[in-house]
Amino acid sequence: MVKYADRMEKMEGSAIRELLKLTAKPEIISFAGGMPAPELFPTEQMEQAANKVMEESGQKAMQYSTTEGWPRLREQIAERMGAKNHIETDADHILVTSGSQQGLDYSGRLFLNKGDIVLCESPSYLGALNAFKTNEPEFIEVPTDEDGLIPEELEKILAREDRVRMIYVIPDFQNPTGRTWPLERRHAFMDIINKYEIPVIEDNPYGELRYEGEYLPALKSLDTKGLVIFLGTFSKILAPGYRLGWICADDEILANYNKLAQAAALQASTISQMETAAWIDMFDLDAHVAEIRKVYGHRRQVMLDTMEKTFPAGVKWTHPDGGLFLWVTLPENLKAQDVYMKSLEKNVAFVPGDTFFPNGGVYNCFRMNYSCMPDDKIIEGITALADVIKSCL
């Protein structure tokens, strides 16, 4: 009989990926995914970049390249991290991955033995939780409030538990809540981290997509002991179809990520890397991101305004300053899963929130994405959803 490894008992198909299949019907108004708006992809420019690569270095583009990543792309990433995240780094401290998900997977495998403890915000990104689960860790959820992770609660846990091997956080426009940590919290967090010396995975897929307020320094930019590992991605600022993300970490840690990458996948696609690097050199990523921010920022506002007008009393939701998601909290006695089933009958989809809590137990929340639907669909979908919620109360 075929016998699977123990880790497979904990693995479920990603609820979101399964759900996205259900919601692929064209009549569905989906607030479920976290996809970028495809109408903003620079397809014609990318075709030009692809032609340039194939004509000037087609043989290199189709060949194996190094595990570390395409040199020009690593330079561009390092420069951008300096400009956007105030992280002083260089190409030697960047490892290109096949999307940020791969960076999450490598992170779990690098730090977690079976039974080790990983800390995360409560709730947290379920794709990361799933990646970590392959190592059979225990999760402890760090309590959060409207300003994200609560440093005092983190310290309580670290003072009590000596099996914590990794802390996973999304300080900017968190998935699923849309919350952002204020500057004081970042400093307080780093003080605690420096005291306990636990590696931190700072997942930052949305940091450039700010629609209001001031940009805040990345944890990695405040890191004096080399404890923070920064994960970035092109999926939300350019396109996810190339599967390109990156890991920025200090020497020894990055060398260990590199060993895992060699064993797990050799390298990210050479052609994806060279085309992306060529596009960045030929066109204007800043202008492109500005366009994305304008569109998503507007859609966020339409969603917030429509919720304000239509959602019944007793329902609360976050007001994110950026990113792709907001988080709705229903009255305690209402289950998001029940609302979801009824909502789907009205052709409106979202993600029930229970899967974002690794230890479960919270059933009255759900995640909404606003980047992928045009204004009229947002208004129509939110209005229908408001009716469904009212009918459940």
Between residue 209 and residue 268, which ones bind a second copy under the rule CB under 8 A? Answer: 227, 235, 239-243, 252-253, 255-256, 258-260, 262-268
Query: Where does this chain touch a second copy (CB under 8 A) — which range of 31-39, 81-89, 152-160, 358-366?
Result: 31-39
Give the Cβ contact number of residue 53 at 10 Å. Answer: 22
State the Cα torsion 247-248-249-253 to the nearest 10°.
Answer: 30
How is 193-250 classified by DSSP, letter by letter? HHHHT--EEEE-SSTT-B-SS-----GGGG-SSS-EEEEEESTTTT-STT--EEEE--
Report how far apart, in Å, the C-alpha atoms of 26 and of each of 108, 272, 299 are: 37, 29, 20
* Pairing relationship of beta strands 117-121 and 164-169 according to DSSP bridges: parallel
Least distance between a second copy and beta carbon 154 (Å): 17
Q: Is the peptide bond before 176 cis (omega within 30 degrees of 0)?
A: yes
| Interface pick for a second copy out of 50, 289, 334, 386 (rule CB under 8 A) | 50
Size of the site for a second copy (CB under 8 A): 86
| Interface pick for a second copy out of 19, 29, 32, 46 (rule CB under 8 A) | 46
Query: Binding of a second copy at residue 39 (CB under 8 A)?
Result: yes
Least distance between a second copy and beta carbon 122 (Å): 20
Binders in 126-165 for a second copy, by CB under 8 A: 127, 130-131, 133-135, 165
Please compute Rg for the chain using Cα positions. 21
* Pairing relationship of beta strands 228-233 and 200-203 according to DSSP bridges: parallel
Percentages helix, strand, coil for the chain (3-state, rounded to 5) are 45, 15, 40
Least distance between a second copy and beta carbon 216 (Å): 25
Least distance between a second copy and beta carbon 315 (Å): 30
Binders in 62-121 for a second copy, by CB under 8 A: 62-67, 98-99, 101-102, 105, 109-114, 116
The contact mask relative to a second copy for 291-330 (x = CB under 8 A, - = no) is: ----------------------------------------
Selection from 4, 227, 228, 7 nearest residue 115 by Cα: 7
Least distance between a second copy and beta carbon 339 (Å): 25
Closer CB to a second copy, residue 148 or residue 240? 240
Query: Where does this chain touch a second copy (CB under 8 A) — which range of 43-51, 75-83, 307-315, 341-349?
Result: 43-51
Query: What gap in Å lies between CA 338 and CA 362, rounded to an integer?
Result: 13
Query: What gap in Å lies between CA 191 and CA 128, rounded to an integer?
Result: 25
Query: Where does this chain touch a second copy (CB under 8 A) — which range of 34-42, 117-125, 142-150, 344-352?
Result: 34-42
Closer CB to a second copy, residue 65 or residue 76? 65
